Structure 1
């Protein structure tokens, strides 16, 4: 299988939005307090830019978007970034793409001077949690203070 990893471009915004929304629904992440409801989901290429110290990588198989993952500052001016919106279609799971996309994001975060990376997710996303643990994220007892995803129930942090 040949998969291309590249930064998000405007022509792929609708595709990744549909993946984020459908995978979110699959795991019950629907409505306020979940990542798929964030305003940026409607225009990912405009939100994730180097000027914003952020990036979003997509995975393409035969020119079709099959998933993506991003990283952005947790809050403006923070030395903590957030791993965001790692979503893969069913057929793209279990192939190592989540790890590859996350690694691209974490490498980018290091170049931007972030010292740690936060994420929040759902306890029913067990494969994602195993991946995050493998990448060196450790569990927190509660979310970071300014989290906007107040309906997530798993919080993790990694030193970069």
Structure 2
């Protein structure tokens, strides 16, 4: 497995993976990333300072992805965004590997903490976040994905 920055040619594969994941968990709903207007151009929406999006690839097949971008709800904070894995590789430690890598990149970019929003339906993800030291917080102001109902933060 290789983790690297996404390219335009991988946008469609990542969009399909994200939408399939949300459908599988009953979250293909307004107020989730499923309907983000920039979803179909992930590579270009993370093409500015202070953010990046990475894909998990094996033999040129996109099996997952995650990114970070600035989050104005807290000082020196980024938000971990669009962390999704193919159903074929869930439960084998790749989500942890990808999340740790993205957090390391965010820390190198100067962030002091990271925020993540998720949903109770995503129990595997919640378990991973808690194992990695994220703690629950109240819903911050300015949350875009109104369907999400769990909000966590981690400081380093």
- TM-score bracket relative to the smaller structure: over 0.9
- Unmatched runs of 5 consecutive residues or more in structure 1: none
Identify the range of structure 1 (116-125 vs 23-32) with the bigger mean alpha-carbon deviation. Answer: 23-32
Asked whether 1:7 is paired with 2:28, we answer no
**Which runs of 4 or more aligned residues in structure 1 lie more than 6 Å from their structure 2 counterparts after TM superposition?**
none
Q: Distance in 2 between matches of 1:19 and 1:107?
A: 24
Contact 2:73 2:141 in 1 (8 A): no
Provide TM-score, normalisation by structure 1: 0.91
Deviations 1:99-129 (A, max 9, x none): 1111111111111211211111110111100
The number of residue pairs the alignment matches comes to 156
Q: Secondary structure at the match of 2:148?
A: coil
With over 3 angstroms needed to count, the CA separation of the structure-2 counterparts of 1:133 and 1:76, relative to structure 1, is closer
Task: Pick the aligned partner of 2:152 from 115, 134, 156.
Answer: 156
- Unmatched runs of 5 consecutive residues or more in structure 2: none
Instruction: Give 1 or 2: higher helix fraction.
Output: 1
Contact 1:29 1:35 in 2 (8 A): no
With over 3 angstroms needed to count, the CA separation of the structure-2 counterparts of 1:31 and 1:138, relative to structure 1, is same
